[in-house]
Amino acid sequence: MQVLLPIFGENNVKISVNSVVDVDRRVVESTNYSTEDWAADGSTNGEGIVGSVIYDDTIIRGDQQEDGGVTGTGSNSDINQYVEDELQTNGNEDTVKSSGQKEYLVDQENQQVEHLAGTVSDIMVSVTINENTAQTVNLDELYAHIGRAAGITTDMQQDKISVLVAPFYQEKTTPVVVPELDSNWILYAAIGTACLFILLLVVVILALRHRRRKKAVIKGIVEQPTAVPAPSGADIMDMNTQKSMELRK
Q: What are phi and psi of 40, to 5 degrees?
A: -75, -15
Per-residue model confidence (pLDDT) at position 221 = 65
Assess whether pLDDT exceeds 70 at residue 182: no
Q: Identify the band that residue 87 occupies on the pLDDT scale cut at 50, 70 and 90.
A: low
Q: Which of 121, 115, 129 is nearest to 9 (CA)?
A: 129
Residue 51 contacts residue 104 (beta carbons within 8 Å): yes
Per-residue model confidence (pLDDT) at position 48 = 59
Q: What 3-state DSSP class applies to 165?
A: strand
Residue 161 contacts residue 176 (beta carbons within 8 Å): no
Q: What 3-state DSSP class applies to 66?
A: coil
pLDDT digits (tens, 9 = 90+) for 26-52: 777 777 666 667 666 767 665 556 677
> Higher pLDDT residue, 242 or 160?
160
Assess whether pLDDT exceeds 80 at residue 5: yes
Per-residue model confidence (pLDDT) at position 108 = 63
Angle at 70 between CA 67 and CA 72, to 5 degrees: 125
Per-residue model confidence (pLDDT) at position 199 = 92
Cβ neighbours around 82 below 10 Å, total? 11
Amino acid at 179: P
Per-residue model confidence (pLDDT) at position 83 = 52
Query: What's the chain's average pLDDT?
Result: 76
pTM of the model: 0.38
Q: Which of 156, 131, 119, 108 is nearest to 22 (CA)?
A: 119
Q: Identify the band that residue 112 occupies on the pLDDT scale cut at 50, 70 and 90.
A: confident
Q: Identify the band that residue 68 occupies on the pLDDT scale cut at 50, 70 and 90.
A: very low
